[in-house]
Chain A
Amino acid sequence: MKERKVLDQYSQFTRRKNTFLVIFLVLIIIIAFVSMLLGPSNIGFKDMMNVFAGKGEGADTQILLRLRLPRILAAIMSGLALSVSGAVMQSILRNPLGSPFTLGISNAAAFGAAFAVIILGAGSMQSGGSDSVLINNPYLITLSAFIWSLVACFLILLVARMRGATPENMILTGIIASSLFMALTTGLQYVADDIELAAIVFWTFGDLSKGGWRELVIQAVILTPVLVYFFRNSWNYNALDSGDETAQSMGVNIYRLRMRGMVIASLATASVVSFYGIIAFVGLVVPHIVRRLIGSDERYLLPGAALTGAAFMLVCDILARTVISPLVLPVGILTSIVGAPLFIFLLVKGIGSSQWK
């Protein structure tokens, strides 16, 4: 009798979380449509539907399918990748300050991308200006970004293994790693010519307009197995949340789980940074918003972070395109302007506390 009551309460509790996920999914679709309609050239809902039906005008089709849609998909995939990576890093390190940016992984990936362009010749400049970097070899750039992000990732794991993953240790290591890779990037600037210099600046602030369909396909190919892996391991991350010894006693190989999780989260981060540059705060703030809204059960946190991250990036992208229209701001600037005060707010309210008591 009592057992039934507890079960009913629990299924009601999880139903609310599922409802949240569905609401966010619907929200993303709505925001994506709104985003499709926003821009300097006036394209109405009807025109858009015509384009989707294959009956649109040439100019509309060009703008929607070659400019706006890739940008929207880039926002969704990047937001999702960074947020899920952030949530996983927080759980793996049992540390609320974990995120690709705070741990220095984003900076390392940006250095790797700049390294590939300048030293390995994977990209070239067409004219000058920050939006004219031509990526000749996106595979090489992603690979280089990934390899350098792994360097930062191993640094973190090394410190965590030797000194424990305390908030202080992690954040200090993150600051050191960020500074190191920023210095290395600056070093590249020192030896670069004007054109290469513009290419480096390009990676230091994230901009979604750089990617095209080719980049999106690469990103999708990387992110699909990454997400499957993370979702599959959500129970293991739950076990890690309750402490190393508890997780071990439940049969979780914590060292392997940490190592793989960090490497895979770094790969997801590299897939974003290598194409669009550093997008700060998304990976840190979004998981905390989700933790407050639906709690920290990884089974819901990870998909919740994916959806909320996508929605957050879509909104930031809309703001980037509209605040000083027709000029388009790099979205990385917007995520910082929106994300930093939001994080301070969460900090004041108490990180990790949740309304689901």
Chain B
Amino acid sequence: MISLKNISFSYNGNMVLKDISHDFLRGSFTAVMGPNGSGKTTLIRLMNGILRPLHGAIMLRDIPMGKIRQDVLAQEMAYVPQVQMNVFPATVFDTVLLGRKPYIRWNPGKRDKEFTSSVLVKLGLDDIALKDINRLSSGQRQRVFIARALAQEPDIILLDEPTANLDLQHQHEVMALLQLLSNTGITIVIAIHDLNLALKYCSEFMLLDEGRQVAQGSHDIISKELIEDIYKVKVRIIKEEGQTFIIPLKPL
């Protein structure tokens, strides 16, 4: 679906990402993990075309991403930034309708509005369709932003820390929703700090440390040694009811 081929990136001469390669398969739900400053957000922004790699290439269905027009790319790939407040108020409906932007020239048409309302209903946001998003809880706002991404009819959704600032219940709701979407064939890539949430819901993992790709693969790559090495924290890994949990014990 989308492949990273030996990409590197630097900010003001500092190498932030070094030689990263990975294939994201259709319908996979990948967690990009690593400590602060490991390059997770940069990777997501590179994949989204907001940043351009210094070396290497990002291929979307074997076409170099740099050759795809940004508005065409927006019909294939959606991006959900970290939850933020709008400067000016906007309703939930208008926010989600904005997801139709890549398809709209002048004004949204009937089909755009119909599609928006179907997404709202699908995500259970129809009751608050005319509420100001600045007045919603962080959890609801995140749902609205995911709805906006869905309104783009994308094959890929990239999310930067989708569970940051959410309470436990909303963290699980959002992750379960993303898992559901990946099951429908949408490729999902998230940058995430919470290892246990990632382990519970994601199917693929990519671990970064200081811009280097340390490990990638499915659940079996997650080991005590790997986590301790990357996060410099002593951990215990327990398995219960077929699930893996990482319990941090103390800094190493």
Residues of A near any B CB (own CB < 8 A):
2-7, 9-10, 13, 90-91, 94-96, 232, 235, 238-239, 241-243, 245-246, 248-253, 291, 295-297, 299, 352-354, 356-357
Contacts and interface: CB of A to CB of B under 8 A. Distances in A.
Contacts of A235: 98, 101, 104, 106-108
Contacts of A250: 71, 74, 98-99, 101-102, 152
Interface string B103-134: 01011100001100110110000100111100
Contacts of A239: 98, 101
A251 B90 contact: no
Contacts of A356: 89, 91, 130, 132
Interface residues of B, number: 46
A352 B90 CA distance: 10
A232 B74 contact: no
A241 to B, nearest CB: 6
B114 A253 contact: no
Contact of B70 (A245, A248, A354): A248
A356 B92 CA distance: 12
B135 A357 contact: yes
28 contacts: A3-B118, A6-B117, A13-B130, A95-B87, A232-B106, A235-B98, A235-B104, A235-B106, A235-B107, A238-B90, A238-B94, A238-B101, A239-B101, A242-B86, A242-B90, A243-B81, A245-B50, A246-B148, A248-B48, A249-B48, A250-B98, A251-B71, A251-B72, A354-B89, A356-B89, A356-B91, A357-B89, A357-B130
A228 to B, nearest CB: 11
B150 interface: no
Contact of A10 (B71, B73, B79, B129): B129
B126 A5 contact: yes
B95 A249 contact: no
A136 to B, nearest CB: 42
Contacts, number: 121
Contacts of B152: 250
Contacts of B108: 235
B169 interface: no
Interface string B24-50: 000000000000000000000100111
A10 B135 contact: no
Given A2-B126, A235-B107, A249 B50 contact: yes
Given A238-B94, A241-B90, A250-B152, A2 B106 contact: no
Contacts of A251: 69-74, 101-102
A2 B128 CA distance: 12
A3 B117 contact: yes
B84 interface: yes
A6 B101 contact: no
A297 B89 CA distance: 9
B92 to A, nearest CB: 10
A297 B79 contact: no
A357 B132 contact: yes
A6 B78 CA distance: 24
B47 to A, nearest CB: 10
Contacts of A252: 70, 101
B88 interface: yes
Contacts of B45: 245
Nearest to A352: B88
B9 interface: no
A241 B49 CA distance: 20
Given A241-B86, A352-B87, A7 B117 contact: yes
Contact of B121 (A2, A96, A232, A249): A2
Of A3, A241, A295, most B-chain CB atoms within 10 Å: A3
Nearest to A251: B71
Contacts of B69: 251
A9 B129 contact: yes
B205 interface: no
Contact of B78 (A9, A249, A353): A249
Contacts of B129: 6, 9-10
Contacts of A243: 81, 84
